[in-house]
């Protein structure tokens, strides 16, 4: 429950819609109970009329019609406002999670799998957004209906009131609370196993070609079947607990009904209650337990919602990798970069140790060095994706921790080793870096990245769809499109991590020569394994033992 409370402000933002849904569900339930009660009273009284008693048929038949009409309308309105509020909450929850996820996507933590994050953004959010509709709302509605009927019994049939009150409280409060307690682990299991199954599917799709080529599709399938089996087992366990609880609710309902009948007949024989009223009360008691029928199902949903809430808060409350300063300094106009005596690592031995680097505004520097020596980590520090454990990183003489991250990122563009292409047109993929870029700017960026002629030859040109992850273009072409995107950006500093991956030697040489001209005036740090053509950068440095030489 505590985990759900963390989301109260989001739930409260939809308080009006949920409040209306709750009110209407109360009206629908009350109308249902009143309908049964009135019908029982009406039918019994009508039967007695034929036995010679005078009875006004019109008022009760009007009531029966009125209650059924109210019930239909209220139920419709409840669904409408409840679902409307739920869908709005869903949008809010997704936005909330996205806003928290991005600053926390930890550079230092590799334990989160993509599939798991997808699960959190989809099914966990879904489980949570229906928490009110399927879990909290029905419990509140049942409590109000049960309380009201117990009140009516105190008035009309006092001996049965206590019995009904106790049975109802057990069915709506004690039993669900017990069920939440015993099924908490099962709920968590279901959510975790479902996330594992989703991650297994995504991994299988991603690695499909390699799994096929290595001939281990059977092993992968067996792994997935195993995950699916564990998910089914967890679901069965939760369903079994819910079935036992359902049975207990039915027993309580039967107890309340039989008890009311017995006590009512005793009151009837003493003349304390008349026949039609007793019949009406009996049906109302049966009807009131209708409100409890959904509760067991609701509790199962509640336990999964609680587990989902825990998984979401685990991300949302994790400390962000870096924090913006409370009052950020103005972004310096000057674009020099400096790292002084920087030490940085990922928890193990430092990757960068006592590293110094100073890059003048407009200077083009190439960094080479063995794989794993820390070149990409250095670029991450320059973007403040992480802070060094020791030493300082400055931009234009101002320490990065004094600047807003958005300002740093507006002034510095990155081509990372795994820059993605999104499932959209070439134009849309490029415009990410400069939303107001005109066609001339796009073509010149494509030319600088050495891919202009390829795009010009496409029937749809800039409007060609590249497919998910750039599947419809080759790896080298995808890389060049990403490079064009980085070059298109108006950032005054360019950080390029292996920009020539996937290019042949001639294209590689052409790229470095073009970069020299295309990025003139901008500060450039290019990390590469390629042999750099003479004169295409101002300085070449080698990363070795955590330092630059
Ligand atoms: N998120 C991370 N968590 C833990 N260790 C990491 C992480 N990123 C990088 N490392 C480790 O830090 C070291 C430096 O990695 P980095 O990617 O900076 O090297 P690199 O010089 O860019 O390598 P390459 O030339 O292969 O791209 C490596 O040993 C790597 O395993």
Q: Express each pLDDT in 431-478 by its tens digit.
A: 999 999 999 999 999 998 888 999 999 999 999 998 877 778 888 888
Cβ neighbours of residue 530 under 8 Å, at least 6 residues apart? 500, 508, 512
Distance 374 CA to ligand 1 centre (A): 6
pLDDT of residue 367: 95
Is residue 53 over pLDDT 60? no
Tokens of 374: 């820390």
Measured by CA distance, the residue closest to atom 16 of ligand 1 is 374
Contact between 409 and 493 (Cβ < 8 Å): no
CATH topology of domain 337-548: Rossmann fold (3.40.50)
pLDDT of residue 342: 95
Is 375's C-beta closer than 6 angstroms to any atom of ligand 1?
Answer: yes
Domain ranges of the chain: 2-104+118-316, 337-548
What is the rounded distance in angstroms from the CA atom of residue 61 to the CA atom of residue 199?
58
Ligand 1 atom with the shortest distance to the CA of 529: 25
Is 374's C-beta closer than 6 angstroms to any atom of ligand 1?
Answer: yes
Distance 450 CA to ligand 1 centre (A): 28
Distance 373 CA to ligand 1 centre (A): 7
Is 546's C-beta closer than 6 angstroms to any atom of ligand 1?
Answer: no
Q: What pLDDT digit, counting tens, does each position of 294-322 carry?
A: 777 777 777 778 888 888 888 777 777 78
Is 372's C-beta closer than 6 angstroms to any atom of ligand 1?
Answer: yes
Q: Would 2-104+118-316 and 337-548 be classified into the same CATH topology?
A: no
pLDDT of residue 181: 86
Distance 113 CA to ligand 1 centre (A): 18
Q: Which residue, 321, 327, 371, 312, is CA-closest to 347?
A: 321
pLDDT of residue 112: 64
Ligand 1 atom with the shortest distance to the CA of 377: 18
- As for the ipTM of the complex, it is 0.97
Q: How confident is residue 76, by pLDDT bands cut at 50, 70 and 90?
A: very high
* Window from 13-17, 161-165, 262-266, 396-400 with minimum mean pLDDT: 13-17
Is residue 374 over pLDDT 80? yes
Measured by CA distance, the residue closest to atom 4 of ligand 1 is 346
Is 371's C-beta closer than 6 angstroms to any atom of ligand 1?
Answer: yes
Q: What pLDDT digit, counting tens, does each position of 180-239 carry?
A: 888 888 888 888 888 888 888 888 888 888 888 888 888 888 888 898 899 899 889 988
pLDDT of residue 132: 66
Q: In whole angstroms, how far apart are CA 43 and each of 36, 50, 84, 277, 283?
A: 10, 11, 39, 11, 11
Sign for the CA dihedral angle at 429, 433, 437, 439 comes to negative
Mean pLDDT of 252-262: 92
Distance 336 CA to ligand 1 centre (A): 25
Distance 511 CA to ligand 1 centre (A): 25
Distance 375 CA to ligand 1 centre (A): 8
What is the rounded distance in angstroms from the CA atom of residue 64 to the CA atom of residue 35?
6
What is the rounded distance in angstroms from the CA atom of residue 96 to the CA atom of residue 102?
11
- What does residue 388 show for φ and ψ, rounded to 5 degrees? -70, 155
Measured by CA distance, the residue closest to atom 29 of ligand 1 is 372
CATH number for the segment(s) 2-104+118-316: 1.20.1560.10
Instruction: Indicate left, alpha or beta for 423 from its phi (over 0: left) and psi (-120 to 50: alpha).
Output: beta
Is residue 5 over pLDDT 90? no
What is the rounded distance in angstroms from the CA atom of residue 308 to the CA atom of residue 347?
29
Report the SS3 class of residue 354.
strand
Contact between 82 and 137 (Cβ < 8 Å): yes
More confident residue, 517 or 70: 70
Q: How confident is residue 116, by pLDDT bands cut at 50, 70 and 90?
A: confident
Distance 339 CA to ligand 1 centre (A): 18
- To test ligand 1's pocket by mutation, which of 109, 339, 342, 346 has the most ligand atoms within 8 angstroms of CB? 346
Please provide the average confidence, as pLDDT, over all residues in the chain. 86
């Amino acid at each position: 429950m505590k985990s759900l409370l963390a989301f109260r402000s989001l739930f409260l933002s939809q308080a009006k819609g949920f409040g209306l849904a709750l009110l209407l569900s109360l009206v629908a339930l009350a109308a249902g109970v009143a309908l049964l009660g009135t019908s029982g009273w009406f039918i019994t009284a009508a039967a007695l009329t034929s036995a010679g008693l005078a009875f006004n048929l019109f008022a009760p038949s009007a009531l029966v019609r009125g209650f059924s009409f109210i019930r239909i309308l209220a139920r419709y309105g409840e669904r409408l406002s409840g679902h409307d509020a739920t869908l709005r909450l869903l949008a809010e929850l997704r936005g909330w999670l996205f806003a928290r996820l991005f600053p926390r996507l930890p550079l230092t933590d590799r334990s989160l799998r993509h599939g798991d994050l997808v699960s959190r953004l989809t099914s966990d959010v879904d489980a949570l957004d229906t928490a009110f509709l399927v879990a909290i709302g029905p419990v509140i509605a049942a409590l109000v209906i049960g309380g009201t009927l117990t009140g009516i019994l105190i008035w009309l049939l006092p001996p049965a009131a206590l019995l009904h009150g106790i049975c109802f409280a057990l069915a709506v409060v004690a039993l669900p609370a017990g069920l939440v307690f015993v099924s908490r682990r099962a709920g968590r299991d279901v959510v975790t196993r479902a996330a594992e199954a989703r991650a297994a599917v995504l991994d299988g799709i991603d690695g499909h070609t390699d799994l096929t080529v290595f001939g281990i599709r059977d092993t992968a399938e067996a792994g997935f079947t195993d995950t699916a089996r564990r998910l089914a087992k967890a679901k069965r366990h939760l369903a079994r607990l819910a079935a036992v609880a359902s049975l207990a609710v039915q027993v309580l309902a039967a107890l309340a009904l039989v008890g009311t009948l017995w006590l009512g007949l005793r009151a009837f024989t003493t003349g304390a209650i008349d026949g039609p009223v007793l019949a009406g009360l009996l049906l109302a008691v049966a009807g009131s337990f209708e409100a409890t029928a959904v509760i067991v199902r609701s509790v199962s949903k509640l336990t999964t919602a609680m587990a989902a809430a825990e998984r979401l808060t685990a991300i949302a409350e994790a400390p962000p990798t870096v924090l913006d300063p409370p009052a950020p300094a103005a972004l310096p106009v000057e674009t020099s970069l400096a790292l002084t005596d920087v030490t940085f690592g990922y928890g193990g031995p430092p990757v960068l140790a006592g590293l110094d680097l100073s890059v003048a505004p407009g200077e083009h520097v190439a960094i080479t060095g063995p794989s794993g020596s820390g070149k990409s980590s250095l670029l991450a520090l320059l973007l403040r994706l992480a802070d060094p454990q020791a030493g300082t990183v400055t931009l234009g003489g101002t320490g990065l921790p004094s600047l807003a991250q958005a300002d740093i990122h507006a002034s510095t563009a990155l081509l990372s080793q795994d820059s993605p292409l999104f499932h959209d047109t070439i134009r849309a993929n490029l415009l990410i870096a400069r939303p107001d870029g005109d066609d001339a700017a796009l073509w010149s960026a494509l030319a600088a990245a050495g891919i202009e002629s390829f795009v010009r030859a496409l029937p749809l040109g800039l409007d060609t769809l590249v497919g998910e992850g750039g599947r419809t273009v080759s790896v080298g072409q995808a890389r060049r499109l990403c490079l064009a995107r980085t070059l298109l950006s108006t950032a005054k500093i360019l950080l390029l991590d292996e920009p020539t991956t996937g290019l042949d030697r001639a294209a590689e040489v052409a790229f470095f020569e073009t970069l020299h001209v295309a990025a003139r005036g901008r500060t450039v740090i290019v990390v590469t394994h390629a042999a750099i053509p003479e004169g295409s950068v101002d300085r070449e440095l080698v990363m070795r033992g955590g330092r630059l030489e």
